Amino acid sequence: MQIPIYNPKPQYEALRSELEQAATDLLASGAYVLGPTVEAFEQAVAEHLGCRHAIGVNSGTDALLIALVAAGVEPGDEVVTSPFTFYASAEVISLAGATPRFADIDPDTFNVTAETLEAACTERTKALLPVHIFGQGPDMAAVNELARRRGLQVIEDVAQAFGARQGDARLGTLGDLGAHSFYPTKNLGGFGDGGMITTNNDQLAAQCRLLRLHGQERRDHHTQVGYNSRLDAMQAALLHVKLPHVDGWNAQRREIAALYDRALAGLPGLTTPHTAPHGDHIYHQYTVRIADGRRDAVRDTLQAAGIGCMVYYSVPVHRQPVYEHLQAHCPVAEQACHEVLSLPMWPYMGEERAHQVAEAVRQAVQQA
């Protein structure tokens, strides 16, 4: 049995002729960076997510960095984020010249909360950078209320939650700016790197557009030091084909999650994921907790059986060598790093494979 943790190929197979047509048309168009293909995709993303502006960039990392700089984050500032995330969420704060501060997470959802964010704020805090980890976000109404009260900008890291809703709105449109990633393994995955910034603020959108293109206001006229962070037209053309399908793929992920939930319910020592009442969970990862120091044994057993489970994340960001000097105290995130295990999760995975995974997990946990 070989069941990978993620497999992008069935999405390609399902849309093969449309994708190949889009690629061929793009090759023939002669316009390969930004231009009308990228503008059309930006428009489609803005409509899909329900916001005024979408700005295509090179990657999710660049989307975060440019959003922070556009929001006015500068050297001397602090930005509060999660320690339980991919390293880039904090790295961009340092790249903007500011200092990351880490807010501990809620043990059930793995997300920061308005309370933990506030506990990490100081008078130097300029912005909050909540990460919608594994496919669900913190209560954004509470995060926005904190931001309003303290005069802070909110930049959402939506890299793992494209299309997830809270109430009537989609994540990435609730804060001041949202940063999305189209890395191939993400819920809307491209065929290479890509990213997108979303906002309802006209001025912030204009600033992001300037920054992604060398601070160039018009030809031969540079008003700022910016970046080379343009979205490739090939990625935009292919992602545009996939965009109408992402809600359906997220629904498939939820069905697999519901199957896992049922099949793993009541297994002693294992905790299935918790869905917060304030919004969708779109299961970028289906992540269980395995208590009592048995996680690594379970992982090894499953991997030996051909089941591609992974530990996201084995080291919290505040414990990375580069940030250890900040001496952040986040015991809940540290505990999570010892217990989490992400199971195979991908659209078109099918019920049979999911049952096989759940059965193997049951056996591995009972043996460990």
Instruction: List interacting residues with ligand PLP (CB under 6 A).
Output: 59-61, 85-86, 88-89, 131, 157, 159-160, 181, 183, 193, 195
Give the DSSP per-residue string, 73-125: --TT-EEEE-SSS-THHHHHHHHTT-EEEE----TTT----HHHHHHT--TTE
Ranked by CB distance to ligand PLP, the top (closest) residue is 60
CA distance 8 to 279: 26
Task: For tokens 């807010």, name the residue.
Answer: 103
Compute the least distance from the CB of residue 296 to ligand PLP, in Å: 23
Known active-site residue 186: yes
Q: Which is nearer to ligand PLP, 101 or 353 (CB)?
A: 101
Compute the least distance from the CB of residue 24 to ligand PLP, in Å: 26
Q: Are 124 and 143 in contact (CB under 8 A)?
A: no
Length of the chain: 368
Q: Are 230 and 35 in contact (CB under 8 A)?
A: no
Tokens for 225, please give them: 């030091």
* Catalytic residue chosen out of the listed positions 9, 126, 186, 242: 186
Compute the least distance from the CB of residue 250 to ligand PLP, in Å: 16
Nearest to 313 by CA among 339, 280, 332, 331: 339
Task: For tokens 């100081």, name the residue.
Answer: 122
Q: Which is nearer to ligand PLP, 162 or 260 (CB)?
A: 162
Compute the least distance from the CB of residue 213 to ligand PLP, in Å: 18
CA distance 84 to 112: 9
Compute the least distance from the CB of residue 306 to ligand PLP, in Å: 25
Q: Which is nearer to ligand PLP, 59 or 125 (CB)?
A: 59
Nearest to 26 by CA among 234, 215, 212, 227: 234
Q: Which is nearer to ligand PLP, 137 or 195 (CB)?
A: 195
Q: Which is nearer to ligand PLP, 164 or 298 (CB)?
A: 164
Active site residues: 186
